[in-house]
Amino acid sequence: MSQNTTKKSSKDIIVRNMNTINSNEIILVLNPNSQGGNTGKNWIATYTKVKDFLPKDHKIIFTKKTNDGIFVTRKLLRKGYRNIVAIGGDGTINEVANGFFDLKLQDKRSKDFGKINLDSKLKQINSNGIMYIVPSGSRNVMARSLELKHQGPESLIRIKQMKKRKMDIIAAIITDKDDPSLFHNRIIMNAAEIGVGAEIIDRSKKVRGKIKNRFVSTMAGIIATLPAYTSNECDIIIDKHKKISTKMTMGIVANGRFLGGGFKAAPRARFSDGLLDIIILKNSGSLKMIDKLIELKGTSSYKYEEDILYYQASEVKILPKESEVTVTVDGEPIGKLPAFFKSYPNALTIKSEASPVRI
């Protein structure tokens, strides 16, 4: 094992010298704050359990703050490393995936978001890069969409048996929350939520900064959001030509089938079909909204739903006509509408446990 360690604490098991490059070496990018901090607290015990199952040549890097996963992954791939393991929750997995692509905060100063576009191909940092997915969060929605059986240590034990495959990703341009002339480029692994769902996530994250209890913070977000939330008039432009104008309470742009809470929002979604799934919950009062959210736990295809629109497409732009509308990506608040989403088929090479269904 090529590591330098001092005291035996979780944050000391970290690589400190990355000058010697072995492109086949596997790098574990680990978020110690995931799973309510338990990933870091239990890391010594976890590492003792899994180290004999890991490839001989490996290093471990701990992230410290938001977006570290992006910057660390980009730096590693640019140096020539190819095998990057994301260990953490959905936010960590999203950050590491973003690190595989050359995406930057854009300052386009455009007055017409409708004219903004994404390149036909994404620029990869290292075309030979492989992302390993080891879920170690509180909800692990991405793992559920991939139908992975194991998480955390049980997943790491099986790292040598992980299967390599290509998967689609969604690239997005999302308006900055504070400056409407700034746009964030972001990779989406599982799903983006827009409107009431995103607002609940945003508010619950703020509560969680003070109360370290996911259930309490989520309930606080729901109670603070649902009763007073009003739908917003939006233009939805699908594949450049199909335009829908509707009052939207909640929008979902999905690559995977599940959202947090077990909601099966996109039952037809597949990670390798070259399409993004667009779900629009139309104008709904708070009580009706709760009923619709509960229905998302089922297997409905929404074929005959009057209040739910379901489309599969290559790209979509969502332009608001009224108030600010929050957007979250893989469970993390990113910005607001307007936003543009585009599917890139087979753009990312991953390794994960063999799922029981084709992705």
Record the pTM. Answer: 0.86
Residue 163: inside a domain:
yes
Based on the domain organization, do 74 and 158 belong to the same domain? Answer: yes
Considering 141, 169, 197, which residue would you say is the last residue of a domain? 169
Task: Flag the least confident range among 11-20, 106-115, 312-321.
Answer: 11-20
Residue 356: inside a domain:
no
Question: Average pLDDT in the 211-227 region?
Answer: 58
Q: Residue 9's pLDDT band (boundaries 50, 70, 90)?
A: very low
Q: Which residues of 127-157 are buried (b: 16+ CB within 10 A; e: fewer)?
A: eebbbbbbbbbebbbbbbbbbbeebbbebbe
Task: Output the domain CATH number for residue 321.
Answer: 2.60.200.40
pLDDT (0 to 100) of residue 10: 43
In which domain, by residue range, is 126 found?
10-169
Report phi then psi at 53, rounded to 5.
-95, -10
More confident residue, 296 or 23: 23
Based on the domain organization, do 325 and 294 belong to the same domain? Answer: yes
Report phi then psi at 125, rounded to 5.
-70, -45
Burial of 278 (0-12, 13-18, 19+ CB in 10 A): buried
Task: Flag the least confident range among 54-68, 170-184, 280-294, 335-349.
Answer: 280-294
- Cα torsion 56, 38, 4, 156 to 10°: value is 10
Q: For residue 75, is pLDDT > 50?
A: yes
Question: What are the DSSP calls for 285-351, one per residue?
Answer: -HHHHHHHHHHTTS----TT-SSEEEEEESEEEEEESSS--EEEETTEEEEEEEEEEEEEEEEEEEE
Q: Which residues of 75-97 are buried (b: 16+ CB within 10 A; e: fewer)?
A: ebbeeebbbbbbbbbbbbbbbbb
pLDDT in tens, 183-196: 899 999 999 999 98
Question: Average pLDDT in the 109-127 region?
Answer: 81
Based on the domain organization, do 18 and 164 belong to the same domain? Answer: yes
